[in-house]
Structure 1
């Protein structure tokens, strides 16, 4: 009995020693962990100022870094970051966040009279039809020297003076023009997008010839305007509208029509161009009717006026910051085998719009490209060609002289 009690006491002593050892080991481990934790907390730095901190929370606390928090203003705290590098980084961030305003540049070209055909029998030498045959019936020949110009713009407008028809019955007049319906390929191959059909030759072959013309244009996806037809083209989200008229006198019915249609189109478009077939043939200055309707159209809301019919060029006027091109003259003109005045030009304007499609007039630019209606001087080969060198400068000066009485600033 005594041995059993002694053995129990010995076992109890052993368990006490074992538990004591475990407690010592645990205490040592706790001390080590506490030391490591304290060392790590001493190296904690406050995050840089460009790291966003959730609203309503302090960037640091006494518990976070183990030191009193004396200031909240990050500019008063030294983060051990090089000041110059920090400033450069902030400047770069500001530049990266600058958003440039959206700008839409739309360039529109306008050229003069296109008479694709002639009034003489087709077998006559050096007529438009004769040259077409000699060129191997190549539709691209006629606009080959200006095609790159028209392709580079956003919209090209011209005056189509004469029907495209196979009709034979024509009006009793000195010069009834017409060309084959297939001549519409001259327009498409030369990058002409839309044409005016309101002129004094559009009905030379009566209504049949006119309807044949419209049908040919539609089949070739060429737009047209005039005689009640309006043209609207959307470019980069900007709606461009064009109206076409033929007028010789100030009449109340025409004035009422002009007011009604311009008002209507202004509601439908962001930019409005009005084309007029007007003036006196072979005169170099606009008459009072031209000036009246040009100014009235701009007063009503038109943004650009382009004119034709005189078969020679006239000057350019600026009215209420809008350009009035009174006459562009002939261009690809089959109505005369050798006209004495072969000067012509392409008028271009680049319209700048903001993201809301508002026209920024002060940022827009104008350009004149002096041309001759023929690639040769001694006759008309129906191939309009840009001028170079002295001839180019001569025509620049001539346009400036014609424009001077209209109080326009000289073009550069």
Structure 2
């Protein structure tokens, strides 16, 4: 046999081997196609390493078998909080590009497009409802008066928002009739509400979650007494977690004032498990205080009160509370999710959108930097992805 023939036979043998190897791995192609499928949430293709060999698969299966099974007695409650939500507008500032115009053009579900994947996966979402839901025309004598159609309460349902704070400076923009209509609209959609003298208790996965809301303009003994009494009352009623909302601070101020800090810490000292704030219309820092968290300002969120604010940064704060055999554990897990109040940058289209990449990193750095103006931001140690 000459050299050419030997080379030809070797090549044929090599090709046959490749063919047999490809056939033996044909079943793996289905797995590879699944791994390479588009990630619908991120809008990107998932990158993955080469498929493991049969030996690698045996090792992986063996390692998986050794992992401890999830503890059936552990209950995890994820609470989300976002800032100012104004479903409607001040009619003195024109209809063009207003919340009402966007609702008419696109329908109510338009506003919740980007928040549904987040809020429908958690267990309890709260926001500050800074508007009235009424058709009443009698207004309060003040500069800004916000009103939305009662049907706009459906937006909260679409968005996966379970409860709203009503303790703010726009709840009575359309007087007592507007306030009563707002509550009726929320009841129709089975949206919980709390604030001022209204306390909310909700059962979530067998855990009792309580919510309170206050206007924290001044650090008065009357307000402190109410906060302490309300927290004590909810505990007696069986609350396992107590969330406190404060509408406080100075508009467009990025640093909390002394009243915010005193009241926030007092609420924690009185037994609150998480404190969140709003009203400045911009974000402020986060403080870890005695192992709990005070989120001083979440900023705007779905805010129909301004067609084009200069600062569109905001965020969603999430905390996971863990319970073992019905008792709270010491685990602390939080997420700070950077958002923009609009899905476009040129104006406010009232469609909050989570940020990614460089923009998300920028907003996160901003929150950490603002936190450092209060105290060392130790809360970052508890963040999870």
TM over 0.5: yes
* Structure 1 residue 305: Cα displacement: 0.1
Query: What pairs with 1:12-411 in structure 2 (closer than 5 Å)?
Result: 100=71, 102-121=73-92, 124-135=95-106, 138-268=107-237, 269-356=239-326, 358-361=327-330, 363-405=331-373, 406-409=375-378, 411=380
Normalising by the residue count of structure 2, what TM-score does the alignment of the two structures yield? 0.79
Distance in 2 between the 1:333 and 1:170 partners? 20
Q: Which residue of 2 aligns with 1:74?
A: none
Contact 1:122–1:129, Cα closer than 8 Å, also in 2: no
Distance in 1 between the 2:159 and 2:148 partners? 17
**SS class of match (2:246):** strand
Normalising by the residue count of structure 1, what TM-score does the alignment of the two structures yield? 0.74
Distance 1:292 1:376, change over 3 A: same
Contact 2:339–2:355, Cα closer than 8 Å, also in 1: yes
**SS class of match (1:152):** coil
Contact 1:163–1:203, Cα closer than 8 Å, also in 2: yes
Structure having the higher Rg:
1
Gap regions ≥5 residues in structure 2: 1-65
* Structure 1 residue 348: Cα displacement: 0.5
Gap regions ≥5 residues in structure 1: 1-94
* Structure 1 residue 247: Cα displacement: 2.0
Q: Which residue of 1 aligns with 2:7?
A: none
Q: What is the aligned length? A: 313
Distance in 2 between the 1:120 and 1:208 partners? 18
**SS class of match (1:140):** helix
* Structure 1 residue 410: Cα displacement: 5.8
Contact 2:224–2:266, Cα closer than 8 Å, also in 1: no
**SS class of match (1:172):** coil
* Structure 1 residue 359: Cα displacement: 1.7
Instruction: Report the aligned-residue RMSD.
Output: 1.7
